[in-house]
Amino acid sequence: MITMTYWIILIIIAITILITIIYYNRFAVLGNRIDNSLAQIDVQLRKRADLVPNLVSSIKGYMKHEKTIITKVTEARKVLLGAKNIQDKVKAGNQLQSALKSIFALAENYPQLKANENFLQLQQELSAIEDKVAYSRQFYNDSILSFNDLCRTFPGSMFAAIFSKKSREYLKIPAESRAVPKISFD
Amino acid sequence: MKSISFHDQISRNKRKSIFLIFVILLVLILLSYVIGLIYPDYFFIILILGIIISLSYILTSYYNSDKIALASVNAKPASYEKHRQIHNIVEGICLASGLPKPKIYILEDKQINAFATGRDPKHSVICLTTGAIEKLDKQELEGVIGHELSHISNYDIRFMTLVTVMVGMIAIISQIFLRSLWFSGNRNRNKSNAIIMIIGIVLAILAPLVVTIVQMTISRKREYVADASSVKFIRSPTGLIRALKKIKQEHEPMKVSGAVSPLFISDPLKKKLSGLFQTHPPINKRIEVLERM
């Protein structure tokens, strides 16, 4: 009888240890996935920033009268490269994106520019990067979702308390970029 | 669709794959055992040889399945310069799904079609026809590529590879069995041998049929799951719906072997027979399911 209870206790301890290990690893894997997807967003934003000087040099000759928009792009790039945390980076990235959009819209008025092979390639590449930024943000938020699901549902919530893991924040689109741009008549 | 069901699908595929490897191994060893019984003098030699051959057969086909599939349809790698858009789309959806980028191949054919193969996401290949690249716009290509990448992320590719290996194996075995009857028909005619022979013949006739039906039913269920995960990656079913509608309007069959046809996004042979022998669910049904998402 005593050996029986002894065995039962032993088995319970073993199962508890096993489950703890499984949950510990689960948290580690999902946490790593979040960090990794965050790095991916960063990579794409940097790639976009790296293409800007090429774009500026290719359009300079054609768009002589569009100084303001060109400076806006270079400024946005500087802000992006100087940004410290991911929220700021994404925000700067959005600003850069909208500045690039107005450049491509203006390019419609320059038929010679639109025939430039180099410019077209940069335009294609930048729009592909825009997609990739969106996709990597989506994966980041998906990773946060699975992490938070694990933190908030039982028995994950119990282990989250033990390992002191807290559910994480989603990457929000900054408020100003969602607002409708103001049109000014001056 | 909740993410948990995709996890289930992945572990189910991995479990089934291991199970299938054991079944293949068992069948091959059993076969060498039966052949050994027919030739008792060489029993152990045949058995040992059989085990060695089966193991090397499984290992080579498991590690080279992608190359075999690509060679059998005569696909060429897609250059980064010429097919930049395809590379960009694949890279984007890989970012959305957290998958490593697969190798991209192009297959010269007018029909809109695509397939994925390999043994795991790190060793995976996705192949598009030139027809798909020419006739589909960016959004439609995203839907199709998303579908193929879901096959990769769900480990469908590994399972389907093993199924194809098993089908090939059983076809070879049944051929050997039927042919060996011509040679040894007269020499070993005693009772026990006759029974073994009869079992052999029945198995040889039935096995390929059973395997084909099994192969087709499993691949049909997978297509729906892959459609759903494609929508999960792209966050919109529109592209895939439009691509399927375009595929529906085509009638010309592709010149590929039936063995690789379950790998494709839509049945390349365009078989009209419905029911058990279809490798893919009807396109109309798939469009209907997608439109409800």
Identify how many contiguous H helices and E strands chain B contains and give both numbers.
9, 4
What are the pLDDT digits (tens) for B122-141?
999 999 999 999 999 999 99
CB atoms under 10 Å from CB of A60, counted, come to 12
A131–B85 CB contact, under 8 Å: no
Cα–Cα dist A114/B162, whole Å: 51
pLDDT in tens, A120-160: 888 888 989 988 998 998 899 889 988 888 888 888 888 88
User: Do B72 and B61 form a contact (C-beta atoms < 8 A)?
Assistant: no
Residues in contact with A12: Cβ distance below 8 Å, sequence separation at least 6, in sequence order = none
CA distance A3 to chain B (A): 36
Sequence-distant (≥ 6) Cβ neighbours of residue B75 within 8 angstroms: B105, B106, B107, B127
Tokens of A102: 């107005």
Name residues whose C-beta falls within 8 Å of residue B13's C-beta, 6 or more positions apart in sequence.
B154, B155, B156, B158, B159
What are the tokens at B72?
Answer: 């059998």
Q: Give per-residue burial for A85-95: e unless 16+ CB within 10 Å, then b.
A: ebeebbbbbbb
% of chain B residues with pLDDT over 90? 24
ipTM score assigned to the predicted complex: 0.77
Active site (catalytic) residues of B = 148
Q: Which domains does chain A have, with CATH numbers?
A: 2-167 (1.20.1440.20)
The reported pTM is 0.80
Nearest to A98 by CA among A79, A121, A84, A118: A79
CB contact under 8 A, B92 and A146: no
Q: Is the CB of residue B249 less than 8 Å away from at least one CB of chain A? A: no
* Contact call for A37 and B92, based on CB within 8 A: no
Here the tokens at position B120 are: 């795991």
Asked whether the beta carbons of A149 and A167 are under 8 A apart, the reply is no
State the count of interchain CB pairs (< 8 A) between A and B.
36
Q: Kindly report the nearest CA distance between residue A48 and chain B, in angstroms.
A: 14
Partner residues linked to B264 by β-bridges: B115
Q: Which of B10, B7, B262 is nearest to B154 (CA)?
A: B10
A7-60 pLDDT per residue, tens: 999 999 999 999 999 989 988 999 899 888 888 888 998 888 888 888 888 888
Domain map (residue ranges) of chain B: 1-293
Residues 6+ apart with CB under 8 A from A52: A73, A74, A77, A96, A100
Which residues make beta-bridge pairs with A179?
none
